[in-house]
Amino acid sequence: MVMKILVTGANGFIGSNLVKKLIEAGHQVDAMVLKGTNEEFIKDLNCKIVYGDVTQKETLEGLFHDIEVVYHLAAVPSSEWSNRIVNINFEGTKNVVEECIKQGVRRLVFMSSLVVHGFKDFEGADESTPLIKAKWYKRPYIKSKILCENYLRGKHDEMEIVIIRPGFTIFGPHDILTSKELIGRLDSGKNVPNINGGGAKMCYIYVENLADILVLAGSRPEAAGKTYLAADNSPPYITMKRFNKAICEELGRKPSKGSIPYLLAAPFVTLLDLIYRLFLRKKLPLISMYTLKVAKFNLFFQSNKVEQELGYTSKISFKEAVKRTVEWYKNYFSED
């Protein structure tokens, strides 16, 4: 069934891949972007570009008229540390939901994060794992996602809500943040040492596979009111050491060597976080306390629910996903 769909944050890493998948599925797509931001990844797609600011309710008026499903992806990334995150991620979500309800949108698919479970060792955890309390975390991104989920659960009686929590590592084409930093560093032959040997388990997802899950979340009737973990299962988890090695193999480079103990790295990264918060807010560090914790703990979650209920299977293997990501990186950044 063809639906009329709106995607917020449509010109971003995940959003642009989702818009492409939705169009391929035959849907009519309105791609909502913040005016003045880069539209290169969606400008040639068969979608209607509309402008709105989730923090300014008046800019959303009329955008959701006749829209059946809204994918709310607009957010400030996890690697940034700023109080504006709560304003954009949480208050912005409230504005979108209020306008959706007012304009009669049937379903909203919200992009959350596994950080709502906190940072500790997880071995085969799933959607039933309890959320931490927002007040326990000072990092604005984590707090914002918890606040959003709690708020959305109170809106189930007014519209269909579907919450998606993707794997801790999302990679693939159009990722101009971590790709440029991580792959670029490995491509230039610079060393990227592992934390605690790089052996911690980590659930992950290739962005095109994530987009497939999002398409199902917006279209399948049984998804209404549900929360789904979105992770690849071939293999069911990776380690940062394996991830970096796979990238180096595609680049034709030797894998990085060496390891830094977490306890040794933490004070330095804490200071680095502070410097970026105070002086370099518009830039993203290669490593932050967020990425350091991802590297420290076993963050292995299983995505059985989305497979069993929505019939999802990963179409693109880890090996092929890394190959496509590196190919895109070479083509895109060779133009710099």
pLDDT of residue 326: 96
Q: How far is 161 from 269, CA to CA, in rounded Å?
A: 37
pLDDT of residue 233: 84
Tell me the pLDDT tens digit for each residue of 107-151: 999 999 999 998 898 988 999 999 988 776 777 888 899 999 999
Give me the chain's average pLDDT, please.
Answer: 90
Point out the residues of the chain with pLDDT beneath 70.
78-83, 136, 277-286, 335-336
Q: How far is 152 from 32, CA to CA, in rounded Å?
A: 21
- The CATH number for 4-174+205-238+300-316, chosen from 3.40.50.2300, 3.30.70.20, 3.40.50.720, 3.90.870.30, is 3.40.50.720
pLDDT of residue 135: 72
3-state secondary structure of 56: coil
- pTM for this predicted structure: 0.93
pLDDT of residue 308: 96
Tracing tokens 């989305």 back to the chain, one arrives at 306
Task: List Cβ neighbours of 99 (8 Å cut-off, separation of 6 or more).
Answer: 57, 60, 61, 63, 64
pLDDT of residue 285: 63
Alpha-helical (H) ranges within the chain are 13-24, 84-86, 92-102, 140-153, 178, 184-187, 207-219, 240-251, 262-279, 289-296, 304-310, 318-333
- β-pair partners for 171: 206
pLDDT of residue 193: 80
pLDDT of residue 87: 84
Q: How far is 141 from 149, CA to CA, in rounded Å?
A: 13
DSSP structure class, residue 42 = T
Mind spelling out the 3-state secondary structure of 136-196? HCCCHHHHHHHHHHHHHHCCCCCCEEEEEEECCEEECCCCCCHHHHHHHHHHCCCCCCEEH
Neighbours of 61 (CB within 10 A): 13
For the chain, the structural domain boundaries read 4-174+205-238+300-316
Q: How far is 30 from 27, CA to CA, in rounded Å?
A: 10
Task: List Cβ neighbours of 298 (8 Å cut-off, separation of 6 or more).
Answer: 121, 122, 123, 200, 201, 202
Tracing tokens 């709690």 back to the chain, one arrives at 150
Strands 238-239 and 201-202: antiparallel
What distances in angstroms separate CA 196 from CA 167, 263, 295, one per listed residue? 21, 9, 8
pLDDT of residue 82: 64
